[in-house]
Amino acid sequence: MKKKLLIFLKEKMSDRRPSSGYSSKFEEFGEFDSHEALYNYSIGQTDEFWGRCAISRLSWFNPPTKMSNCDIKKGSIKWFEDGKLNACYNCVDRHLEKRGDQVALVWEKDDAQKSEKITYRQLHEYVCRFSNVLRKRGVVKGDRVAIYLPVGLQGVAAMLACARIGAIHSVIFTGFSAQALAHRIDDAQCKILLAQDYIMRGGRKVDLLSIVSEGAKQASTLETVLMYTEEEAPHSSWPSNFFELTPEINQASTVSECEVMGSEDQLFLLYTSGSTGKPKGIVHTTAGYMLYAQMTVRHVFDYQEGDVFGCVADIGWITGHTYVVYGPLANGGTTLLFDSHPLYPDAGRYWDCAQRIGLTQFYGAPTAYRMLLRQGDEFVKKYDLSELRIIGSVGEPINVAAWTWLHEVVGNKKAEIVDTWWQTETGGNLITPRPSNENAEIIPGMAMRPFYGIQPVICDPASGKEIEWKEGQKIEGALCFNKPWPGMARTIYGNHERFLDTYYNPYEGCYFSGDGAMKDEKGYITVTGRMDDVINISGHRLGTAEIEDVMNSHESVSETAVIGVPHEIKGEYPIAYSILKSDIKPDSEDKIRAELVSLVRNKLAKFAAPGQIIFVPGLPKTRSGKIMRRILRKISNNQTDEIGDVSTLSDPSIVDILIQKSAGCKAA
């Protein structure tokens, strides 16, 4: 990274502190001459490391004196529990003196010509008004507030307004159905919903009002809906408990005191779907999450004063929470709110946006990168992307072909590529190539290194015990972590037993990620995918991501999903669902299929070659871009009557197409 480690050790927050008058000097860690030395310090003196970071990076009403109180064997995690602070203050108020006129939000709307820039002073005024609307509506500290708003000023301000008054926000992605919306409202026992009547996406008007209206009918705990709308006509058709948000905000006071919050007071809930069971309301608390968000933006993405941080995630997902809202704003940065589609009006939308705004960091998903790769390099090369220093990837392991395209075409061989691994439950990046020593190697398609204070271990799924690693050897198993960090989730809302059963009981003394991983001879980590996405072929354990990576390297293939199906002799064998590039003709499919089998055999192993390769127009993806391999397994095993609800897929109709394609496909 350009920023030297010593600067990290000596820097201090110069912004003014809360009205309590507390002010502190940054306590230096000492001089470390390498990343490894600093990382080892963060592991060896964990409380001292995180404590000094917390005191220096966050603004406190009362600074903590107790750094950690954790028992990872019991899944009990507490950090800085006697400290008092406010998340909204840390993201907005403390920046007003120095950065009041600096742009805080760049709201990139579907129609780029209507985009807006909002300064910290403007954001502060809007958030104060918004928080007073909530207070007037009876929202108090500890109440849960459901938010069904897209990424934009209103959505971000709603989150910050909740944090300001101590309410717990639960942001629900605007692509979810009425039933999914109602379930999340009721599970969190929300009495108030903040929503929007429609959004523009890809030049089309997308109706949300009908979803909100139906969801409100189904939600038993809901009392009031505050609707944001840009329509001027009277809303006589709205239900009686629906009220227009903007007039109430305009009439509200711009003075709003921040609620004093305990470090372990809940900041937000965020629902994440498991492969089985109901969606889980993951709980994050105030101080630990804020600190981890702030630090990972600063050090994974080399954030520096004056940077324009561009994460294109929706606020309905954890990436939007951490890397659109809380992380960049806690650093006093300028952050992008991308409220459009990467193919609108053409495949250059991301890069046009990056040039106009001057993005210095870009953070997106492999599924989008692969989609854009298919469109050709001309949509990238006509834009000046020289400001980009860091390009991040999030959501799933990135294949080497997409990584290489990002590095060579988008980054012009100058920008660094950081393949980040983390989860809703972890709060922020856990494994990523940076930070590290300057000029340290980055291996394509590999997350590689743990962040400060993060100690991953590989455990044996059979015995449940940690596998000892020695330099020069390779080990593989379940990805776990045996040392707590401030940003990790504290519980599942209303169901702590499920929290323990999911994350702490499978491997004693560890947080279990649910993913498999391989640690190579140098100690670098490759995440191989969900444990149920690891195939056991004739006794050989193989991550589906490895097969996918090889197949995606073929010049005719843009994306692949591999699943394992039962085999009476081998135990399992792989089946691949591949999307061909748009210029490939149907009469060449047999030839490509044979080439792919040969490619996997030659680059990976003979036993890894797919038993079937099914060419499809699309894959079953959630609206966050994750491939639902569970559905592919059901289709491949002729269990189509067990697929269940597909309404939350970005394109539910793809399931019927996949069933037809699978039924008509011969063995590879």
pLDDT score of 235: 78
* CA 50 – CA 30 distance, rounded (Å): 14
* CA 65 – CA 67 distance, rounded (Å): 6
Instruction: List, in sequence order, every residue forming a beta bridge with 579; answer none if it has no partner.
Output: 559
Q: In what order do the strands lie in the sheet with 280-285?
A: 242-244, 224-228, 192-196, 144-148, 168-171, 266-272, 280-285, 491-492
* CA 115 – CA 352 distance, rounded (Å): 13
Q: Using alpha carbons, select from 510, 420, 498, 422 the residue that is nearest to residue 461.
A: 510
Instruction: List, in sequence order, every residue forming a beta bridge with 269; answer none if it has no partner.
Output: 170, 283
* CA 304 – CA 154 distance, rounded (Å): 27
User: Residue 622 corresponds to which amino acid?
Assistant: T
Phi-psi region at 75: left, alpha or beta (left = phi > 0; alpha = psi -120 to 50) = left
CB-based contacts of 501, cutoff 8 Å, min separation 6: none
* CA 18 – CA 24 distance, rounded (Å): 12
pLDDT score of 12: 38
Any idea what DSSP says for residue 260? P
Number of residues in the chain: 668
**Is residue 212 within a helix (H) or strand (E), and if so which, with residue range?**
helix 209-218
Spans in the chain with pLDDT lower than 50: 1-29, 275-276
How far from 223 is each of 133, 189, 243, 370, 494, CA to CA, in Å? 15, 11, 11, 43, 21
* CA 105 – CA 122 distance, rounded (Å): 10
Which residue intervals of 485-584 are DSSP H helices? 496-503, 544-552
Three-class DSSP labels, 115-164: CEEEEHHHHHHHHHHHHHHHHHCCCCCCCEEEEECCCCHHHHHHHHHHHH
Q: Using alpha carbons, select from 211, 206, 80 the residue that is nearest to residue 487.
A: 80
Q: Using alpha carbons, select from 315, 368, 311 the residue that is nearest to residue 196.
A: 315
CB-based contacts of 399, cutoff 8 Å, min separation 6: 366, 370, 445, 545, 548, 549, 552, 553
Strands (E), 53-119: 84-85, 103-108, 116-119
Q: Using alpha carbons, select from 197, 241, 245 the residue that is nearest to residue 219.
A: 241
Cβ-count burial 241-270 (b if 16+ within 10 Å, e if not):
ebebbeebbeebeeebebbbbbbbbbbbbb
pLDDT score of 546: 80
Q: Are 478 and 507 in contact (CB under 8 A)?
A: yes
pLDDT score of 647: 74
**What 3-state class would DSSP assign to 481?**
strand
pLDDT score of 22: 20
- For the chain, report the end-to-end CA distance as a whole number of angstroms: 46
**Is residue 169 within a helix (H) or strand (E), and if so which, with residue range?**
strand 168-171
In the structure encoding, which two tokens stand for residue 630, read together? 């569970």
Residue whose pair of structure tokens reads 């003979």 in the numeric block: 606
Domain covering 553-663 in this structure, CATH number: 3.30.300.30
User: Chain-wide mean pLDDT for the chain?
Assistant: 90
* CA 227 – CA 219 distance, rounded (Å): 16
pLDDT digits (tens, 9 = 90+) for 224-257: 999 999 887 767 789 999 999 999 999 999 999 9
Give the residue extent of every domain in the chain. 553-663
pLDDT score of 667: 60
pLDDT digits (tens, 9 = 90+) for 43-76: 999 999 999 999 999 999 999 999 999 999 999 9
| DSSP-assigned states of every residue in 1-50 | --S-HHHHHH----SPPPTT----PPPP----SSHHHHHHHHHHTHHHHH
